[in-house]
Amino acid sequence: MLAPVHTSLPGKPLQASANQEYSVAGFISHAELVNQMDQLKNSKYADVEVAGHSNHGREIYKVTVGKGDKVVLIQSEIHGNEKVGTKALLNMLQQLSQNDSPEIKKLREELTIVAMPMINPDATELNRRGNEMTWEEVVSKFPELEGVRPSWNYYTYVNRYWDYASNPGFDVNRDFNPNLDYTPKRQDFPGNSARPGWYITPEAQTVRDVYKDLKKQFGNVDVFIDLHHQGEYVIKDTDDPVTLSLSGVFVPDPNTEEGAKYREYADQYQGDFSKQLNVAAYNALQQIGNSPFKNISLYPQDLDLPGTALGSFALNGSGAILFEITGQTQSYGQKRMGQLTKAVETGVLGILDSVATGDVYEIDVEAYDEIPLTER
């Protein structure tokens, strides 16, 4: 459907789909997000705006805290079955927008923090990865795509958790393009994972527009943090279950032979800075000392995913950090929700703090390669 048809009742909790056995009621529904955003509007230091709407008309929010000249953009739940990041982000916004401790004040002075919690709310409500949008809707918005094969990230399959056949959608996190002004062209479809996306989904368009506005206003988005979930893994060569994996590498470095196809982005790419930011998150988690928070690993490092938000924004000069929290909700439910939320908050605050103090620039880049790998 094209018109807004969002009819959730205020405060209505999230429910797992009929074929999903785990409860997700402890996570945030879109209606609950709307309530929390309304409350946040009254806080001392937060500026709450509706940045855009999902394909089904649900609000996508942008919350700005701080007046510093370093810009940090953080988003969560681009995949609707990856929910801890939203909880962590809302907890952090409470703190950042009201707390007057010297540490938090310093963050507001040095940084402009822009949080976009739950950027794919139609998927959130369905507890699934893809958004809710048909190829026909794409063609109606971009008539030049008539007769073209649908993009490779268009889901129409059925499995034990989801029925995309009767309710299709796109993996929004393959719809980004490092050319922020790109408009869809016939010859770029159906594409593949090593090719950029097209900005055909309203959710990716909304994030891109916020990114472009920040770039225009500040010259650069210094840091981009994207909060995801993965399956269950152990740390390489151990039996220790991974709490979360980090990464700062999403495309081959444009300054190398392997990354030659990205040469036009070579001057602005900040590969070392991305690694320093990841180490800042890792160190903050190690400092907690308990084993769940110490069990942090690196995500696979041989990616070439220019259609992800992280890949596209890294090529545009942002230091980029991926959080891959353990367990997706369709098969993991809300197990360890409190602990995982705390881990994300700790890692993100570690990044914010190190950028605000400038400590991040002193971090040894090689410490990144000492973060243990994931057994896969």
Burial tier of 19 (Cβ tally within 10 Å: 0-12, 13-18, 19+): exposed
Nearer to Zn ion, 77 or 353 (CB): 77
Nearer to Zn ion, 132 or 353 (CB): 132
Q: How far is the CB of 170 from Zn ion (least distance, A)?
A: 13
Q: How far is the CB of 129 from Zn ion (least distance, A)?
A: 7
Q: How far is the CB of 67 from Zn ion (least distance, A)?
A: 31
Nearer to Zn ion, 110 or 132 (CB): 132
Residue with the CB atom nearest Zn ion in the bound state: 228
Q: How far is the CB of 168 from Zn ion (least distance, A)?
A: 19
How many Cβ atoms are within 10 Å of 371's Cβ, its own excluded?
A: 22
Footprint of Zn ion on this chain (CB under 5 A)? 79, 82, 228
**Which of 236, 229, 246 has the alpha carbon at shortest distance from 375?**
236
The sheet carrying 223-230 orders its strands as 46-53, 59-65, 111-116, 70-76, 223-230, 319-326, 244-247, 296-298
Task: Tell me how far apart the alpha carbons of residues 36 and 90 are, in angstroms, rounded to a whole number.
Answer: 8
Q: How far is the CB of 171 from Zn ion (least distance, A)?
A: 9
Nearer to Zn ion, 231 or 358 (CB): 231
Task: Tell me how far apart the alpha carbons of residues 109 and 91 are, in angstroms, rounded to a whole number.
Answer: 20
Phi, psi of 178 (to 5 degrees): -65, -25
Task: Tell me how far apart the alpha carbons of residues 216 and 239 are, in angstroms, rounded to a whole number.
Answer: 47
Nearer to Zn ion, 79 or 87 (CB): 79
